[in-house]
């Protein structure tokens, strides 16, 4: 009997990095996500195929139940090693799934290009957690690590405020439907960012984080309330300047888009994946601007966000 699970992708609007230290982060689940299809298999083995959004296979392998049980594989493929690690944690949290099975045939399907960074890993973690009937945050903590906001997006179909309280995830559903939503665009920067290495860089540079978190929390609160595009732009710029000082990096606007009519803000891990563009011109001009700069993937808010 076939089972199918699905999880939403994610974008983090405020609170990047500082969410790890308890800041209130404003995050948006996306219309894009990932499916996990499970069918009975054989030979105490999981055969695995992962499809990108263009239907090409980007990963294919088989792992034995014994490899999963031991958490060790002789395979040198880093994707296989990571998969075995995740499945080992899931198995330890709920041994029943593998112990009562002869094997599984597994297919994953992304509805967004894998390089976009909308949550290939987080949607996988949440789908595997659903399959094994376990807590996705626990699975994340014991495998990848991270704040967990992406798991919250995977599980929710509305905008959320997310924070860690004593290392426990707190998720609050919220509304975000400003009158200027049609001026918001997500632009892909043509490079996949490694969020784990970006987090390590943040940890090495942060100082006086309590004061920073207080400022970020205020910006998050005002971002949700504002109905004025000028105030929204100012809030995004203020957030970017704060994080620029913490990370000791120029803002993405300073570095690449100083002449943009509006503002742009890094999302999630700085230096890659998507940026948020708040445009003071029409969609055609905005699209033309970014394409001229060499960034052809420009997605309007309404097409990206649930």
Tell me: pLDDT of 206 over 90. Answer: no
| Residue 150, φ and ψ in degrees, nearest 5 | -70, -30
For residue 24, the model assigns a pLDDT of 98
How much is the mean pLDDT over the chain?
Answer: 95
Instruction: Using pLDDT thresholds of 50, 70 and 90, give the confidence band for residue 199.
Output: confident
Mean pLDDT for 301-306 is 97
Distances (CA, A) of 289 to 142, 256, 294: 43, 12, 9
Place of tokens 């998969």: 83
Tell me: pLDDT of 205 over 80. Answer: no
Question: Distance (Å, rounded) from C-alpha 147 to C-alpha 33?
Answer: 19
192 touches 237 (CB < 8 A): no
Mean pLDDT for 93-122 is 96
249 touches 270 (CB < 8 A): yes
SS3 label, residue 155: helix
For residue 272, the model assigns a pLDDT of 66
Q: Quick one: three-class SS letters along 22-71?
A: CCCEEEEEEEEEEEEEEEECCCCEEEEEEECCCCCEEEEEEEEHHHHHHC
Record the pTM: 0.95
Instruction: Using pLDDT thresholds of 50, 70 and 90, give the confidence band for residue 192.
Output: low
Mean pLDDT for 159-176 is 97
Question: Distance (Å, rounded) from C-alpha 234 to C-alpha 211?
Answer: 19
Contacts of 206 (CB under 8 A, 6+ apart): 17, 21, 212, 246
Instruction: Using pLDDT thresholds of 50, 70 and 90, give the confidence band for residue 201.
Output: confident
Mean pLDDT for 246-253 is 90
For residue 124, the model assigns a pLDDT of 98
Give residue-wise pLDDT tens across range 120-161. 999 999 999 999 999 999 999 999 888 999 999 999 999 999
For residue 193, the model assigns a pLDDT of 60
Tell me: pLDDT of 268 over 90. Answer: no
For residue 194, the model assigns a pLDDT of 66
For residue 196, the model assigns a pLDDT of 72
Q: Which of 188, 177, 170 is nearest to 11 (CA)?
A: 188
Question: Distance (Å, rounded) from C-alpha 253 to C-alpha 3?
Answer: 45
Residues 6, 101, 38, CA angle at the centre, nearest 5°? 20
Question: Distance (Å, rounded) from C-alpha 17 to C-alpha 249?
Answer: 13
Question: Distance (Å, rounded) from C-alpha 71 to C-alpha 66?
Answer: 8
Contacts of 275 (CB under 8 A, 6+ apart): 186, 187, 189, 252, 264, 265, 266, 267
Give residue-wise pLDDT tens across range 55-79. 999 999 999 999 999 999 999 999 9
Give residue-wise pLDDT tens across range 10-50. 999 999 999 999 999 999 999 999 999 999 999 999 999 99
Contacts 24+ apart (CB under 8 A), 14-17: 14/216, 14/219, 14/220, 14/223, 14/239, 15/149, 15/162, 15/216, 15/220, 16/243, 16/266, 16/267, 16/268, 16/269, 16/270, 17/198, 17/199, 17/202, 17/206, 17/243, 17/246, 17/247
Tokens of 80: 């296989």
Instruction: Note the Cα 109 to chain centre separation in Å.
Output: 16
For residue 207, the model assigns a pLDDT of 74
């Amino acid at each position: 009997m076939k089972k199918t699970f699905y999880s939403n992708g994610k974008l983090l609007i405020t609170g990047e990095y500082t969410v790890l230290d308890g800041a209130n982060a404003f995050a948006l689940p996306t219309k894009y996500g990932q499916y996990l299809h499970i069918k009975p298999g054989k030979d105490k083995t999981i055969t695995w195929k992962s499809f990108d959004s263009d239907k090409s296979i980007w990963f294919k392998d088989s792992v034995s139940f014994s490899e999963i049980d031991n958490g060790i594989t002789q395979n040198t493929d880093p994707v296989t090693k990571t998969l075995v690690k995740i499945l080992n944690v899931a198995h330890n949290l709920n041994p029943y799934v593998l112990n009562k099975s002869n094997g599984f045939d597994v297919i994953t399907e992304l509805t967004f290009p894998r390089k976009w960074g909308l949550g290939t890993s987080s949607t996988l973690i949440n789908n595997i957690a659903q399959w094994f009937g376990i807590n996705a945050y626990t699975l994340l903590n014991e495998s990848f690590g991270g704040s967990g906001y992406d798991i919250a997006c995977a599980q929710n179909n509305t905008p959320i405020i997310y924070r860690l309280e004593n290392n426990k995830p707190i998720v609050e559903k919220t509304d975000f439907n400003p009158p200027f939503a049609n001026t918001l665009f997500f632009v892909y920067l043509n490079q996949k960012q490694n969020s784990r290495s970006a987090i390590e860089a943040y940890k090495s540079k942060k100082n006086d984080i309590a004061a920073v978190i207080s400022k970020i929390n205020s910006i998050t609160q005002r971002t949700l309330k504002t109905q004025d595009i000028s105030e929204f732009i100012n809030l995004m710029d203020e957030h970017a300047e704060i994080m620029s000082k913490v990370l000791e990096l120029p803002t993405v606007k300073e570095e690449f888009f100083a002449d943009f009519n509006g503002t742009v803000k890094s999302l999630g891990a700085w230096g890659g994946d998507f940026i948020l563009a708040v445009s003071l011109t029409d969609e055609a001009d905005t699209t033309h601007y970014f394409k001229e700069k060499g960034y052809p993937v420009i997605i309007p808010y309404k097409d990206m966000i649930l």
